[in-house]
Amino acid sequence: MRNIRILSILATITFFIIPGIFNATKAQSIDWGITGGMSVSSHLNNFSYIEDDINLQLKPDFTVGYNVGFVARTKLSRIVRLQAEPSLILLGAKYDDTFTLRGTVFQTESRTALTYLQLPLLLQLTTAPKEQTIYGRKRAKTTFHLSGGLYSAYLLNAEFKGTNTGAPVGIQFEGEFSNDVAPQFSTFDAGAVFGFGFEHGHYRKLGFETRAMLSAINSGDDPNNPSFEYRNMAVTFSIYFLW
């Protein structure tokens, strides 16, 4: 039920709100599409988790997530276009670190999993090869483009989960855990996006794009830990289809 609700929100943004924004720019017709791929993400600064006598300060490493959503694009000129992508993206980081609890050293293999409803708004600069018509049909072409812009995001879910191992009383211990850490984070995130890609086709287009994104604001919002600072960063690899 929750996934259906999220998809309905994405569809509403794509097909009702974005056309209004594009119309305000006096843009040309709108191309629609779908996109999906992989995200490789981490964050700036250590991850901090405090609960009772637990005080973790973990060094982040990169972890793998996903991104999936819709595409709406319109041309502003022959080589400049405006693109919006309401999407669902999984970000976070991986931790392979040690911590001390009640005098015992534990090893943790864990990660944060932050699910965002994200809206990148991009300007794209594209190559524009000459049109070729063969036997009355326009020939498919390959173009290359650069992307740059801003994104805003709304936090849907945040988990801290993994496995801890140690020997607190001389006996080897291993335990899995999963904690809701949404209260530690701001519900809003925003930042910059830069990327490049290519696509092939004419009326229907298949493309690939890779992007780098970095949060411009501190997403940490833990009243019990005011020093907690968390800024998302990621590289995404996506395939998209336009019609």
pLDDT of residue 21: 66
Q: What tens digit of pLDDT does each residue of 76-128 get?
A: 999 999 999 999 999 999 999 999 888 889 999 999 999 999 999 999 999 99
SS (H, E, C) 66-115: EEEEEEEEEECCCCEEEEECCEEEEEEEEEEEEEEECCEEEEEEEEEEEE
Angstrom distance (rounded) from CA 61 to CA 228: 17
H or E segment and range at residue 116: strand 104-126
Angstrom distance (rounded) from CA 235 to CA 205: 23
> Is 90 exceeded by the pLDDT of residue 159?
yes
Instruction: Look over the chain and give the mean of its residue pLDDT values, rounded to a whole number.
Output: 90
> Is 90 exceeded by the pLDDT of residue 149?
yes
User: 0.75 cut: is pTM over it?
Assistant: yes
pLDDT of residue 169: 76
pLDDT of residue 24: 57
- Relative to beta strand 63-75, strand 104-126 is unpaired
Q: What tens digit of pLDDT does each residue of 128-146 get?
A: 988 777 776 778 899 999 9
Angstrom distance (rounded) from CA 65 to CA 114: 9
Whether 120 contacts 193, CB under 8 Å: yes
Q: What tens digit of pLDDT does each residue of 12-50 get?
A: 776 666 776 666 555 568 899 999 999 999 999 999 988
Which residues, 6+ apart, have CB-to-CB distance to 109 below 8 Å?
Answer: 95, 96, 162, 163, 165
Q: What share of the chain is helix, strand, coil (3-state, %, to 5)?
A: 10, 65, 25
